[in-house]
Amino acid sequence: MSKKKIYVLDTSVFLTNAHCIYEYGIHDIVVPFKALEEIDANKKRQDGAGAQARSIIRMLDDLRSRGSLFDGVRIRKGHGLLYAWGTEGLGDSGLPKDLNPSIPDHLIIATALAVQKQHTTRKVTLISRDINMRVICDSIGLLTEDYIVNQAVKDSDSIYAGFSSHLVDNAVVDRFYNGEEIYLDDKTTCNSNEYTMLVSNAHDKKTALARYIGAGLALRPVLEYKRGVWGIRARNKEQSFALDLLMDPNVPLVTLIGKAGSGKTLCAIAAGLQQTVEDPQAGIEPRYSRLIVSRPVQPLGKDLGFLPGSLEEKMSPWLMPIQDNLQFLMGNDKTTLEMYMQRGRIEIEALTYIRGRSIANAFVIIDEAQNLTMHELKTIITRVGEGTKIVLTGDVEQIDNVYVDETTNGLTHAVEKFKSFDLAGHVTLMKGERSKVASYAAKWL
């Protein structure tokens, strides 16, 4: 059997990553006509899948200009050929009678069977992210594989928490509280801006909270905002860590992961307001010129379809959770909130139109970032200009985007890839503080 394989790619693969055609080396790729049809049907979507559909269409058009997709076109030097495979010959492909060619998934399976029948000396594999399609393929003897996108971690339990504990001599804890400089052992493996709990080896209840800045640098005490940040006071140590990072101008990228009701969005917006809105009584100049809050347009459950009205009216339902938090922090004073928005101090925007922008001297919050792909998040972070702080918040257990999961979403990638850099910091908020009902629902449902 030939070492050169043939991979038949399902629509779900293209909508996950348009550049998937470059990941199979010298092996050939077959694109079923039905997949092309489904890609075309998704190209107008204003989300990540729509962007991938438009990208792969442009790539295929570029390949078409260099040769015939019917005869096969070299993808690039050192890579195999790409074919577009039609419905001819599918009648004798060997598709079981139980499978209906009028169903898109079954037609793509029939295409793979036809390719297998024509190329008996080569291994033919159908690649799909659709679990049921892979089950059907396996049951009829057709080789199949999942398309594994770049996983940031093995599973959700492996996501960097931004916190660790260290057993130290009893005297070390006392010295830390007395304001002396304390250093961790050189053998300690901590990431920049990782929070640590110093635990006394004599009394495990005797502890001190600190932030590890970097190798050779003394531990920094966690700043306590006894008067609160815009009226918000930390209710647990994780919220203290979050406010410490959010108020630190030397950490321009902050990621917060936490279950529903853990306070991640509220803390982020409170810190943003504290540093962008003037406070005449305090006489402190704002650190940033404006607060920009946004979130992905990703529905929970069935989409309601097109919404009437202007851009602001269309976006209002999507951005209402952000407005709820802002209004709460403003003391339910809607007039004051509208005044700041009219002045340009507070902006509530959709991510759809962020491409091409350069955002300088702003405090940017991206809520529900777990619904973003890695490519979408890269687009957002690269918009950050000088003097801007960006905060990413989300719950990796509540993902509405069908093309990402707990280990492949953009937020998880940001946490894992930036954890070793001193310009970034991360906190995982463990405890729900919204209400007892919300906490129980997050844990048990």
Q: What is the pLDDT of residues 88-147, one digit of tens each?
A: 656 666 788 888 888 989 999 999 999 998 898 999 999 998 899 999 999 999 999 998
| pLDDT of amino acid 302 | 41
Measured distance CA(331)–CA(333) in Å, rounded: 5
Residue 236 lies in a domain: yes
Cα separation values, 416 from 155, 318, 376, Å: 12, 28, 16
Residue 421 lies in a domain: yes
Asked whether residue 8 carries a pLDDT value surpassing 50, the answer given is yes
Same domain flag for 350 and 236: yes
Q: Are residues 374 and 239 in the same domain?
A: yes
Q: Which domain holds residue 105?
A: 6-145
Q: Which backbone phi and psi does 283 adopt, to 5 degrees?
A: 70, 30
Last residue of a domain, one of 119, 145, 171: 145
Whether residues 252 and 132 share a domain: the answer is no
Edge to edge, what strands does the sheet with 6-9 contain? 73-74, 81-85, 28-32, 6-9, 124-127, 143-145
**Residue 225 maps to a domain:** no
Residue 194 lies in a domain: no
Integer Cα distance of 232 and 270 in angstroms: 7
The CATH number of whichever domain residue 263 belongs to comes to: 3.40.50.300
Question: Which of these ranges, 221-230, 252-261, 285-294, 431-440, has the smallest mean pLDDT?
Answer: 431-440
| Residues 113 and 242 grouped into a single domain | no
Of the residues 93, 117, 145, the one at which a domain ends: 145
The answer to whether residues 392 and 257 belong to one domain is yes
Residue 315 has pLDDT above 60, yes or no: no
Q: Residue 189 carries which DSSP code?
A: -
pLDDT bracket for residue 336 (50, 70, 90): confident
For the beta sheet containing 163-168, the strands, ordered from the edge strand earlier in sequence to the opposite edge, are 163-168, 194-200, 207-212, 220-221
Residues 288 and 434 in one domain: yes
* pLDDT tier, 16 (very low <50, low <70, confident <90, very high otherwise): confident
Question: Do 431 and 166 touch, CB atoms closer than 8 A?
Answer: no
Number of structural domains, the chain? Answer: 2
Q: Tell me the CATH number at 77.
A: 3.40.50.1010
**202: in domain:** no
Per-residue pLDDT of 157-191, as tens digits, reads 899 999 999 999 999 999 999 999 999 887 778 99
- Is there a domain that residue 151 lies in? no
| Domain end marker among 89, 112, 145 | 145
289 shares its domain with 418 = yes
Report yes or no on 205 lying in a domain. Answer: no
Q: Please, what is the average pLDDT of the chain?
A: 86
pTM, full prediction: 0.76
| Same domain assignment for residues 259 and 406 | yes
- pLDDT of residue 405 exceeding 80, the answer is yes
- H or E element that contains 428: strand 424-429
Whether the Cβ atoms of residue 432 and residue 438 lie closer than 8 Å to each other = yes
> Of 438 and 303, which is predicted with more confidence?
438
Nearest Cα to Cα of residue 292 among 245, 231, 340, 324: 340
Tell whether 197 is covered by a domain: no
Q: Which residue type occupies 207? A: T
278 pLDDT higher than 90 = no
